[in-house]
Amino acid sequence: ERDRATVLIRVTDDGRGIDQSRVLPRAKKLGLVEQGTTKLSEQELVSIISRPGFSTAEKVTEISGRGVGFDIVATRVRALGGSLEVHTDAGLGTSVSMRLPLTLAISRALLARVDKEVYAIPLTHVLETFSLSQPMLLESKGRQVVAIRDDLFTAIWLRERVGLPAAATAASGQVVLIELAERRAALIVDEFIGQQEIVVKQFDGVNASKTLFSGATILGDGSPALIVDASSLL
The pLDDT score that the predictor gives to residue 67 is 46
Overall pTM > 0.75: no
Q: Which of 78, 81, 51 is nearest to 66 (CA)?
A: 51
Give per-residue pLDDT as tens, 115-141: 999 999 999 899 999 999 888 889 888
9, 28, 47, 149, 207 from 36: Cα distances, Å:
35, 9, 18, 76, 49
Q: Which of 77, 68, 28 is nearest to 49 (CA)?
A: 68
CATH classification (class only), 106-232 = mainly beta
Please determine whether the domains at 6-101 and 106-232 fall in the same fold group of CATH. Answer: no
Specify the higher pLDDT residue, 104 or 36. 36
6-101: which CATH topology?
A: Heat Shock Protein 90 (3.30.565)
Q: How far apart are CA 166 and CA 158, in angstroms?
A: 10
pLDDT band, very low/low/confident/very high, at 57 (cuts 50, 70, 90): low
Q: How far apart are CA 77 and CA 222, in angstroms?
A: 14
Task: Count other Cβ atoms within 10 Å, centred on residue 227.
Answer: 22
Q: How far apart are CA 130 and CA 33, in angstroms?
A: 60
**Statement: residue 103 has pLDDT above 90:** no
Q: Where are the domains of the chain?
A: 6-101, 106-232
73 sits in which H/E element: helix 69-79
Q: How far apart are CA 173 and CA 43, in angstroms?
A: 51
**Statement: residue 214 has pLDDT above 90:** no
The mean pLDDT value of the chain amounts to 82
Contact call for residues 215 and 223 (beta carbons, < 8 A): no
